[in-house]
Chains A and B, each alone.
Chain A
Amino acid sequence: MIEARRLTKRYGSTAAVDDLSFTIRPGMVTGFLGPNGAGKTTTMRLILGLDRPTAGTVTINGRTHPRLPSPMHEVGALLDARAVHGGRSARNHLLCLAQTNGIPVRRVDEVLGLVGLSDVAAKRSRGFSLGMSQRLGIAAALLGNPEILMFDEPVNGLDPEGILWIRTLMRKLAAEGRTVFVSSHLMSEMENTADHLIVIGRGRLIADCAMAEFIAQGSGQAVLARTPQPELLAAAVTAAGGTAAGVEDGELEVRGLTEDRIGDIAFASGLRVHHLAPARVSLEQAFMELTADSVEYHASVAGEGTEA
């Protein structure tokens, strides 16, 4: 369990993390979403005690990170896969980490096998691809068999097989009752992995809810209708109190009316409808709608909406 209470980190006058409170619970994958520069990495650094908060607290199982007696057994983290000494072999890298917490050597070989790096264990990590580096970072996080796992952008640089592998791993770790906290800018990846979401923008909390709830919030219960007569159907649903917007040729997104009602209106007006279903708004769209105001650098006219 990770608990942040009014967590704040300022660099000069800029707040990277601004009055953030959340609880990350065991037994599920919690996704950590936000646009670039939203403060995701800073939040993770605060959790790990690498940065000191300007105000507020963040605890791991009730203690701040520097006070954990067996840090590797309580939390395993992958922040930056390239943050290893490239001149050291994969095995020696893991060994020097394991030794600080009295983790036996056989566990080093075990995690190397688990992430599929046994064959290159003796090779210096300088020559590793980004995918291999990610696996090495994940091996380091797993060394202490920790109850809490934190991954910052873990699928970066992984091939589709690697992405599937880490998705399965995270689901498995959560199913074992562990706390899994993962950030990603690939929102589609979150949709397939996370049970719960914490969304931040400009260091502030935007949403803290179940995945399904988050998507529902963003979609506003829209209905997608495909019809060869979009103008006529749009006029008919508008007359019935709904709103309609053309999505693309022959498709309408209707809000304010149910599918049944839209079907009845079409039938009464003698209009042909080929498809009628709830619009499945992707996480990406929901995310864009929610964070539209909090993106740090809008691609808009200069001087407009730069500060909240």
Chain B
Amino acid sequence: MSAMTTTGAARRAAAPNLRADLTRTLRSEFTKIRSVRSTYWTLLLVVLAGITWAVANCAGEAAHWAQMAPQDRAGFDPTQASVVGLALLGQLVIVVLGVLVISSEYSTGMIRTSLTVMPRRAAVYGAKAAVLAAVTLAVAVVTAFAAFFIGQYLLRSTHEAATLSGPDVARAVLGTALYVTLSGLFAFGLGAILRSTAGAITAAFGLLFLVPQLAKALPSSWYADVERWLPGGDVTNTITSTQVQHNPNLFSAWGEFAVFGAYTAILLIAGLILLRRRDA
């Protein structure tokens, strides 16, 4: 405690490097995300959902392969069979993590301390989003490849198992991981806008699952125009698929991805503007 007894000038001189900056805020946000249990629970659930789906689905397909009609065999996409579960179920879970990363700051009141120690709000926001994206991407990439390899191993008896060098296979596997990551950021943006855990999770599920279902109730000519612009992109027919896409109302895999990315960007930017404008 010798520092406590020195004069003001000496204290200032003794601490020339105590500056708040983006790099340090990134480190801080990483400490935050790794020091709460909800992070581990949600990420564990993403891994379990992705792997369990791959095992159950691919083992099931392999078991029924002998009885499968030729046209069904032709339409079978071994890559998609192994990773689509991660895209759909992983999204469901990662939405919760994405919301919690920011909404828990508001529900606990921690945001006031966070913004006091680092008053550059855009840096806090950016660091939070970047750490969420990095952690989610790391887990999603590993899970996607694990699900892919486990799935293809289980499908080996069909002689249809895919390899990473196959057309569009690597894109579908990596695209799945990116899709899960983007879903987390989509939810993060909603969390920043709504500042409430329950509200933001409800909004995310509504936009990602309910809106696409409701859109199907539209007259078919309208739906044809709307389908490609729905939030969340098309997972089953484009993003996780390696097959030629026959629906003229959808974009390509990367196109659908870009649509989802654009929605996510809008939410992230809106969240940032509101964080900077509103009283904390």
Contacts and interface: CB of A to CB of B under 8 A. Distances in A.
Contact of B3 (A80, A86, A88, A145): A145
Interface in B77-123: 104-105, 108-110, 112-121
Contact of B109 (A51, A75, A82): A82
Contacts of A93: 35
Given A96-B28, A99-B27, A102-B17, A80 B117 contact: no
A52 B17 CA distance: 28
Contacts of A88: 32, 35-36
A85 interface: yes
A12 B16 CA distance: 43
A49 B20 CA distance: 15
Given A88-B32, A92-B35, A99-B27, A144 B18 contact: yes
Contacts of B115: 49-50
B127 to A, nearest CB: 9
B64 to A, nearest CB: 45
Interface string A95-124: 111011111000000100010000000000
Interface string A69-102: 1111101010110111111110011011101111
B119 to A, nearest CB: 4
A73 B105 CA distance: 23
A147 interface: yes
A147 B31 contact: no
A167 interface: no
Contacts of B38: 87
B18 A102 contact: yes
Interface string A29-69: 00000000000000001001111100000000000011111
Q: B20, B105, B110, B119 — which one has the most chain A CB atoms within 10 A of its CB?
A: B20
Nearest to B36: A87
* Chain A contact patch, size range: 35 or more
A20 to B, nearest CB: 17
Contact of A71 (B5, B20, B31, B121): B20
A155 interface: no
A289 interface: no
Contacts of B36: 85, 87-88
Contact of A83 (B15, B21, B112, B279): B112
Nearest to A144: B18
A157 to B, nearest CB: 16
Contact of A85 (B7, B19, B28, B104): B104
Nearest to B26: A99
Contacts of B14: 145
Q: Which of the listed residues B7, B35, B105, B117 has the most CB atoms from chain A within 10 Å of its own CB?
A: B117
B118 A176 contact: no
Nearest to A27: B8
Contact of A100 (B6, B25, B110): B25
Q: Is the interface of A mostly helix, strand, loop or mixed?
A: loop
B272 to A, nearest CB: 15
B112 A80 contact: yes
A100 B11 contact: no
A100 B19 CA distance: 8
Contacts of B108: 83-86
Most chain-A Cβ atoms within 10 A of its Cβ — which of B17, B18, B104, B119?
A: B18
B5 A102 contact: no
B66 interface: no
Contact of A73 (B18, B25, B32): B18
A50 B18 contact: no
B119 A72 contact: no
Nearest to B278: A52
B159 interface: no
A93 B109 CA distance: 13
B113 A83 contact: yes
Nearest to B31: A96
A81 to B, nearest CB: 10
A166 to B, nearest CB: 15
Contact of B20 (A83, A100, A114): A100
A26 interface: yes
A51 B116 contact: no
A117 to B, nearest CB: 15
A127 interface: no
A79 B114 CA distance: 12
Contact of A145 (B4, B17, B37, B112): B4
A172 B6 CA distance: 12
A269 to B, nearest CB: 59
Contact of A80 (B27, B109, B119): B109
Interface of A: 26, 45, 48-52, 65-73, 75, 77, 79-80, 82-89, 92-93, 95-97, 99-103, 110, 114, 140, 144-145, 147, 172, 176-178
6 contacts: A65-B119, A69-B19, A83-B108, A92-B35, A102-B21, A145-B15
Given A92-B31, A176-B7, 15 more contacts: A50-B279, A65-B119, A69-B20, A70-B19, A71-B119, A72-B117, A80-B109, A83-B108, A83-B109, A87-B38, A97-B113, A100-B20, A101-B18, A110-B1, A172-B4
